[in-house]
Amino acid sequence: MKKIALVAMVFLAVAGAWSQTNIEFWHAMTGKNADTVQALADKFNASQKDFKVVPVYKGSYSDTMNAGIAAFRAGQAPHIIQVYEVGTATMMAAKGAV
């Protein structure tokens, strides 16, 4: 019984290494632009098994930036965030954000 438990623990530990790494991408695009982002993510995701890009619509450009700031402060920032030109200086000035 102990051997079965040990084998199961080893298998579960190794199984985690085989899983995909999700890359969360927050954006502010709608309509055709959002469709294009999703199509690009789908194409990338289908091309390999190591990473999965997950596009997430977060509202307007301001809403997306504000959500990103709040998530960063909470220690839960996305991997990638789309920031509009006016927000670039704000993000560059935030210590640790870039």
Q: Is residue 42 part of a domain?
A: yes
Q: pLDDT at position 31, please?
A: 98
pTM score, whole prediction: 0.73
Half-sphere exposure of 90 (CA within 13 A, CB side): 12
In a domain, 72, yes or no: yes
**6 belongs to a structural domain:** no
CATH code where residue 61 lies: 3.40.190.10
Number of domains making up the chain: 1
CA count, 13 A, side-chain hemisphere, 57:
11
Domain range for 33 is 20-93
**CB contact at 8 A, 74 and 18:** no
How many angstroms from the chain centroid is the CA of residue 31? 21
Instruction: Report the chain (98 residues): mean pLDDT per 10 consecutive residues.
Output: 51 62 97 98 98 97 92 93 79 67
Residue 4 lies in a domain: no
At residue 84, the pLDDT reads 85
